[in-house]
Amino acid sequence: MQNNISNFTYFNPTKVVFGKNQISALDQLIPSNKKVLITYGGGSVKKFGTLDKVKQSLGDRVYGEFGGIEANPTFETAMKAVELVKKEGYDFLLAVGGGSVIDATKFIVAAAEFEGNPINIFGSGIGTSEPIKSALPFGTILTLPATGSEMNAGSVITFKEKQAKVSFGSEKVFPVFSILEPELTYTLPKRQLANGVIDAFVHIMEQYLTFPVGAMVQDRFSEGLLQTLIEIGPDVIDETNKDYNLRANFMWTATNALNGTLSPGVPQDWASHDLGHEITALYHIDHARTLSIVLPALLTIRKNEKHDKLLQYAERVWQIAEGTDEEKVTGAIEKTKEFFARLGAPTSFKDIDLGEEVIDILVAQLEKHKKIALSERKDQTIEISRKIYQAAL
């Protein structure tokens, strides 16, 4: 029976502290006896003064810093932080940044307490996928709404030499708290804002655009978030528009897109992510910009399998009331593509100057990473994935 809501467990203990001037709450949020390691990325948190505010709010606590976490955070970099944590005895981590910094920090807190080689936290042909028994506590200060990592227990780490992006998840790596200040997004450039909108949009689609199981609440919540992104997306990417509510709605949408609100008891796809990760790993394309290329192609190729949900998506999210079912479905896919294009994102390989030559290479990577039975029904074979890449040319 595919058409019943499945049994599920919902659990999310992360405390979200949302609004204006919330960094000052750090003093209440982190126990005063903790030795804190602040993790961050390329330096914009220094440039825009966020790091200074954080340090001030830490008061008398002893703290250190670990910067330089990359946009697709690598195992190699994260392991350097793990060594530092062990050597210096840090017992609380504070991630200041976007999804990459937070994902890396999740790995660091788990690896620091892991018995044996931390590479075995991963599966997917990389490690032996052993359970995480404990992790150091950590909090986050989010600077880039996109991944939802600030309120979930998942992480994606890149293995440079192996040209692989691999995820892991564990209840032990929920952030203890996450501070969400919409005003921290005011310094973001257009491209990162657009990436955030697309990333959140596709997160929702991976949990929504599958086959119907009659989960009315989850469907309505997904549709509400998609409608919100469609409504605000074009304004969000205007970097000069510093409307508080606009950025607050963007931030809260991106968090809810992947914090467990949409997924209880429903099937999930994630094939757009699987296919996109290979493009990022080989050609260093921004994660979101691989999704804007793959998703419309995937929906086109998988139109029959996803028919019922595509029709619901057309009618409820895009308000397409006219035409045959087939026309509605095609129209909704077309509108999705136009939405991504309007955000300045690529929607084909051609848009990122790649051509037919990449197809065989990407397909080989899928095989290597055992991505041979993808999607909500595990029926997306290598041959179907090839067709999707081809449809994206």
Tell me: does residue 183 bind its own copies (CB under 8 A): no
Tell me: does residue 119 bind its own copies (CB under 8 A): no
Tokens of 119: 């590479």
Tokens of 93: 């981590």
Nearer to its own copies, 117 or 319 (CB): 319
Least Cβ distance, residue 221 to its own copies (angstroms)? 6
Residues within window 255-294 making contact with its own copies, judged by CB under 8 A:
256, 261, 264-265
How far is Cα 111 from Cα 231, in angstroms, rounded to an integer?
Answer: 41
Nearer to its own copies, 149 or 380 (CB): 149
Nearer to its own copies, 28 or 117 (CB): 28
* Site stretch for its own copies (CB under 8 A), options 57-65, 94-102, 207-215, 317-325: 207-215
Residues within window 300-329 making contact with its own copies, judged by CB under 8 A:
none
Tell me: does residue 238 bind its own copies (CB under 8 A): no
Q: Which residues, 6 or more positions from 383, have their beta carbon under 8 angstroms from its beta carbon?
A: none
Instruction: Give the residue, chosen from 52, 83, 88, 231, that forms a contact with its own copies under the rule CB under 8 A.
Output: 231
Residues forming beta bridges with residue 374, ordered by sequence position = 380
Query: Is-contact 79 157, C-beta < 8 A?
Result: no
Tell me: does residue 4 bind its own copies (CB under 8 A): yes
Strand order in the sheet with 63-66: 63-66, 36-39, 92-97, 138-142, 177-180
Q: What are phi and psi of 68, to 5 degrees?
A: 85, 15
Instruction: Give the residue, chosen from 228, 292, 330, 347, that forms a contact with its own copies under the rule CB under 8 A.
Output: 228
Query: Is-contact 267 214, C-beta < 8 A?
Result: no
Indicate the length of the chain as a whole number: 393
Q: By rule CB under 8 A, what count of residues binds its own copies?
A: 43
Considering only CA atoms, give the Rg of the chain.
21
Least Cβ distance, residue 218 to its own copies (angstroms)? 8
**Cα separation values, 161 from 137, 281, 308, Å:** 30, 10, 41
Tell me: does residue 136 bind its own copies (CB under 8 A): no
Query: Is-contact 389 359, C-beta < 8 A?
Result: yes
Least Cβ distance, residue 242 to its own copies (angstroms)? 13
Least Cβ distance, residue 114 to its own copies (angstroms)? 24
How far is Cα 300 from Cα 302, in angstroms, rounded to an integer?
Answer: 6
Tell me: does residue 353 bind its own copies (CB under 8 A): no
Which letter does DSSP use for residue 315 in this model?
I
Which letter does DSSP use for residue 183 in this model?
G
Instruction: Give the residue, chosen from 2, 8, 31, 338, that forms a contact with its own copies under the rule CB under 8 A.
Output: 8
Tell me: does residue 217 bind its own copies (CB under 8 A): yes
Tell me: does residue 172 bind its own copies (CB under 8 A): no
Contact footprint for its own copies (CB under 8 A): 3-20, 22, 213-217, 220-221, 223-225, 227-228, 231-232, 244-245, 248-249, 252-253, 256, 261, 264-265
